[in-house]
Amino acid sequence: MMNEPQQPDHWLARPATIKLLWRVFIAVLVVLVLAQVFIYIKGYFGVDGWFGFGAVFGFLSCLAMVLVAKALGFVLKRREDYYDDGERDV
């Protein structure tokens, strides 16, 4: 939000809206976990029927994937013209 234009921006981009969206989002997350009190989730292997399993599993697997990607990035990332140099050699 550094180069915000001078005139009032689109309502969706205003800080107040973003704050509201965060609140709604967190409320939805809480409701989704608490809803498991009323709605039975059938676990196929026991563990996946635990309270809040979907939430924890979703969060942790994403965390793991982002960290793995980040770590691999150190090895795999190259400048965009990486292949151009090599192919120009020939």
Residue numbers at the binding site for another protein (CB under 8 A):
1-5, 9-10, 12-13, 25, 28-29, 32-33, 35-36, 39-42, 44-45, 48, 52-59, 61-70, 72-73, 75-80, 82-83, 86-87, 89-90
Q: What spatial distance separates the first Cα and last Cα of the chain, rounded to whole Å? A: 45
8 phi-psi bin (left φ>0, alpha ψ -120 to 50, beta other)? beta
Identify which of residues 20 and 65 has a Cβ nearer to another protein in the complex: 65
- Rounded to a whole number of angstroms, the minimum distance from the CB of residue 46 to another protein is 10
Q: How many CB atoms lie within 10 A of CB 53?
A: 15
